[in-house]
Structure 1
Amino acid sequence: MLPPPLNHTSSILVIGAGTWGCSTALHLARRGYKNVTVLDPYGVPSPIAAGNDVNKIMEHKELRDSNPDARSIAFATCTRAALNGWKNDPVFMPFFHETGVIVSGSTPDLIRHIEKDEIDSSKGDFITLKTAQDFRNTMPPGVLTGDFPGWKGWFSKEGAGWIHAQKAMLSAHREAKRLGVKFVVDDPTGNVVGLIYQNGDVTGAKTADGTVHRADQVILAAGAGSDRLLDFKKQLRPTAWTLSHIRMTPEEAKRYRDLPVLFNIAKGFFMEPDEDNHELKICDEHPGYCNFIPDPNHPGEKRSLPFAKHQIPLEAEARARDFLRDTMPHLADRPFSFARICWDADTPDRAFLIDRHPEHPSLLIAVGGSGNGAMQMPTIGGFISDALEGKLQKELKYVVRWRPETAVDRDWHSTQNRFGGPDKVMDFQDVKENEWTRINETEKSKKSI
């Protein structure tokens, strides 16, 4: 079965108004499509969207050798385009802060891993950091006060830093609306509960209020929530990470401005305080949490079901504070002002999944950020639009194809080359009710995310 004809008057339904959904809507509108509708149960920005965050790391890695694998080439293609978008697209330019990134480890094994797989000091402007003083010299006096026990790092200043993901998503949303995209969000009429099937194809979506939204083309871009709407043949694993904020004084926020991102691949990372709330974001690093429950559609199997929560497990808080004790011990005991779990969707090989469904030609899949989706925001919608139009470049098309063969006998507990914490994927089902943080509700209500 061939996909239906596509022209600028075709009705296009985008399911999901997160990072990729808003980017897709924007690029479709820029290409002249006049009948684009976006559905989401939440407003923009969604409280469960991975991109609903004050800051995310943006780092473009050069290819390491003369014969890189196809996945590395595809990822480099996407990130190179994204970096160009952050620097030149007026919708996104204000939200990219090219402050640099420090990648580091604190055990001999992890340091060797970084040297082998994470950086190529023969390219770029890497500065090697070997001592605590080397780390301190990358930031103003009094910011890094820790002893950095066993740490070694590499500091890159160009083409790297952080993005204000939430503001960038709102900017894409506003521009897409200005160009004529219709957003049905923050309402039962935008809460997709199922796809509409007709003659073997997908012809729309049904929402919680019973409304049927018909369309010539359907794009499923609901992030970790996509897994509940379609059988992905084990290609998606909703996985969550944990983040927390510390309230800074205005004077501290000024001193901590324009700092490089400090990332330890097994302990965590932090970025400069956001300009609105003067809050420093700290993330503990680990292979992720899942929320495993019995799979109602596959007896004897399990699936990970996303949920929203503006608290984190106490074990995650302890890891974040351990990171602070190594780097900024003067902040290690300061109370958190905000915390939440943040969901993404992992593919088995951590490559994106952008392809037409092999059995439903009107359905385009655009999922599988695998921890790298938010930084692609300026241009990922262009690649998704290319896939819709059937002109995605050959090398990229192969890597991001529908590929259930990669998920046969999938190990749901695979760390997928991530480090930290207990060095295993954790399960929210194992976290008891009294093992979550209880951040002050008054403080939490001040947050918009």
Structure 2
Amino acid sequence: MALSKHSSIVIIGAGTFGISTAFHLAKRDYTNIICIDRHPWPSPDSAGYDLNKIIRTEYEEELYTELALEALRAWRQPMWDGIFHETGRITTTSGDPEAAKNLKESYENLQRAGAAASIEFVEGKKQIVKFCPQLAGASGLDEWKGLWNSEAGWAHARKALEKMASESEKMGVRFVSGPEGTMTGLELDATNMLLGIRVASGDIIKADRYILSTGAASPGLLPDILSTQLWSKCWTLAHIELTDEEIEQWKGIPVVDNMELGFTFEPDPETKLMKICNAFPGYQCRQGEYTDPETGKKTIFSVPRYASDHPEDGIPAEAAEGIERFIAAVMPQFSGRPLIQARVCWCTDSPDSHYLIDRHPQHPSLLLATGDSGHAFKMLPIIGNYIADALEGSEQGLKKEWRYGGRKEVRNVTRPGTEVKDLRSVLGIQDVGDMSKL
């Protein structure tokens, strides 16, 4: 059936990709849009359900440099007043040659895009403190070198998702949560034709078009095609609490990001919390299992162990130590403070860090929109426009870099280290079994 403005469209997942897509489809006057998720919007399982997310333009890939510059222009629109904070960003390495190469390529891409005027090279404590005087007491900055970019900053991620979802609802998008909104699989007929989306209530949701934007949950929902194409991983974050005086002192600092240690943001005056993330290659949770019915080949893959289901998990001790190392190097005056609201944040990586936005290889009415690879949220204001293009069959959204299959592994140097441990193992959870050795 040809797509029309009255076609029924079901978006699965109320996170960054899903909410942005709902918003942009509604802006295009589509009148029959449902967005489902097991949680009310915005989904707490989404990587975007967070206090801060970095908004940056530095990419070693030209495609994402252009997209990030487009997104930055969108973030500056009145819709995002009070949500986007253009504080600037200091991005550095402590000496990793691959990280230094990444920063150099990012700068050159911005040069080619005519957007390098906002960039300055920084090296050592003196130059870094020039852009962030609050780091004057730091003891670990002398080995840092990298880029200062005034055209960067951060967004209050949860508020941004709430804003876009609320605007989508006003335009007629219907959000469904609970068992009625929890996808469990595809409903197929005897000829393998897609009939609808099965949900936990036992119902089947039928539509003219479907968009799967389920982030880290995607491999588990479509294991036949995604368990070998995407890798769900989580990263860790925590916060420290500041006094009113400290909040005033640290107000407006740039994002401080060291590719080997981690990053932090200015404190949030509402909660008095300052978010800090350590840098490492992520954790996995290899509890997913799929057996090909034709070949009998078994695939063991990572599936999310969401903080919403396991709030008691917190973060592994080694991750807390990584966050404490960052504090000791960058903000030693805060050393020893309790880490508050520590949790994991799930994303799903593609082999080459490109998004996966393409039609399902067997079901043309189902569009895949996932594979965020840890750099999707900054595109929130615009990514739904590209997904809407893909739904309409436009090459603007069906980019060759985003196609399903045929990806070659490319190391993401923004994630130091190579060993991706099993989350359950480092938490000391006993149900790991032999899967952690695979």
- Tell me the TM-score normalised to structure 2 length: 0.88
Native 8 Å contact 2:103 2:147 kept in 1: no
Query: C-alpha separation between the residues in 2 aligned to 1:154 and 1:9?
Result: 48
CA drift of 1:423 comes to 3.9
Asked if 2 retains the 8 angstrom alpha-carbon contact of 1:354 and 1:400, the reply is yes
CA change 1:419–1:23 in 2 (3 A) is closer
Output aligned runs, 1:118-197, within 5 Å. Answer: 118-120=106-108, 123-141=116-134, 144-158=137-151, 160-185=152-177, 187-197=178-188
Q: Does 1:417 align with 2:394?
A: no
Match of 1:96 among 65, 84, 87: 84
Q: Is the 8 A contact 2:100 2:146 kept in 1?
A: no
Q: Residue 91 of structure 1 contacts residue 168 of structure 1 at CA under 8 Å; is this kept in 2?
A: no
Rate the CA distance shift 1:174–1:138 in 2: closer, same or farther, 3 A: same
Letter in 2 for 1:417: V
Q: Say yes or no: does 1:255 pair with 2:249.
A: yes
Structure 1 counterpart of 2:287 = 293
Q: CA deviation at 1:392?
A: 3.0
Shift in Å, 1:112: 3.4
Instruction: Give the 3 Å change call, closer, same or farther, for CA 192–102 of structure 1 in structure 2.
Output: same
Distance 1:115 1:179, change over 3 A: closer
Counterpart residue number, 2:347 = 344
Conserved 8 A contact 2:58-2:103? no
Once the two structures are superposed, what CA deviation does each residue of 1:23-50 show, in whole Å capped at 9, x if it has no partner?
A: 1111111111111001100122222210
Q: CA deviation at 1:221?
A: 0.4
SS of aligned partner of 2:406: helix
Measured at CA, do residues 237 and 126 of structure 1 come closer, stay the same or move farther in structure 2, by a change above 3 Å?
A: same
Does the CA contact (< 8 Å) of 1:21 and 1:38 recur in 2? yes
Partner SS state of residue 326, structure 1: helix
Matches within 5 A, 1:38-49: 38-49=35-46
Amino acid at match of 1:135: I
Partner SS, residue 91 of structure 1: helix
The 5 A counterparts of 1:260-409 are 260-293=254-287, 295-298=289-292, 299-309=297-307, 310=311, 311-393=314-396, 397-402=399-404, 404-406=405-407
User: Are 1:37 and 2:30 counterparts?
Assistant: no
Could you say which residue in structure 2 is the equivalent of 1:84? 73
TM-score using structure 1 length: 0.86
Consecutive unaligned residues of structure 2, counting only runs of 5 or more, are 431-438
Q: Which residue of 2 aligns with 1:201?
A: 193
* Counterpart residue identity of residue 258, structure 1: G
Cα displacement (A) at 1:415: 5.2
Q: Per the alignment, do residues 193 and 258 of structure 1 end up closer, same or farther by CA in structure 2, a change over 3 Å counting?
A: same
Distance apart, 1:133 and its partner CA = 2.5
CA contact (8 A) 2:102 2:413 kept: no
RMSD: 2.2
Secondary structure, aligned partner of 1:321: helix
| SS across alignment from 2:346 | strand
Q: What is the percentage of aligned positions where both structures have the same residue? A: 36
Distance 2:130 2:205 in 1: 56
Q: Residue type matched to 1:302 in 2?
A: I
Over 3 Å counting, the alpha-carbon distance change for 1:390 and 1:144 in structure 2 is farther
Residues 171 and 205 of structure 1: is their aligned pair in 2 closer, same or farther, counting only changes over 3 Å? same
Superposed displacement of residue 287, structure 1: 1.3
Distance 1:114-1:418 versus aligned 2 partners, 3 A rule: closer
Structure 1 residues 196 and 81: alpha-carbon distance in aligned structure 2, compared to 1, 3 A threshold: farther
Please say if residues 238 and 345 of structure 1, whose CA atoms lie closer than 8 Å, have aligned partners that are also in contact: yes
Q: Structure 1: which 4+ aligned runs deviate by more than 4 Å?
A: 141-144
Aligned mates of 1:177, 1:228 — CA distance in 2: 28
Match of 1:438 in 2: none
* Residue 426 of structure 2 corresponds to residue 431 of structure 1: yes
Q: C-alpha distance in 2, partners of 1:415/1:312?
A: 25
Question: 2-side partners of 1:74 and 1:419: how far apart?
Answer: 20
- Give structure 1 stretches of 5+ with no counterpart: 64-71, 436-449
| Matching of residue 18 in structure 1 with residue 19 in structure 2 | no
In structure 2, the CA distance between the partners of 1:84 and 1:202, relative to structure 1 (3 Å rule), is: farther
Alignment partners' CA distance in 1, 2:194 and 2:154: 38
Residues 300 and 149 of structure 1: CA distance in aligned 2, closer, same or farther (over 3 Å) = farther
Change (3 A) 1:10 1:300: closer
Q: Does 1:217 align with 2:218?
A: no
Any idea what SS the aligned residue of 1:135 has?
helix
Residues 426 and 33 (structure 1), Cα distance of their counterparts in 2 relative to 1, 3 Å cut: same
- Superposed displacement of residue 111, structure 1: 5.9
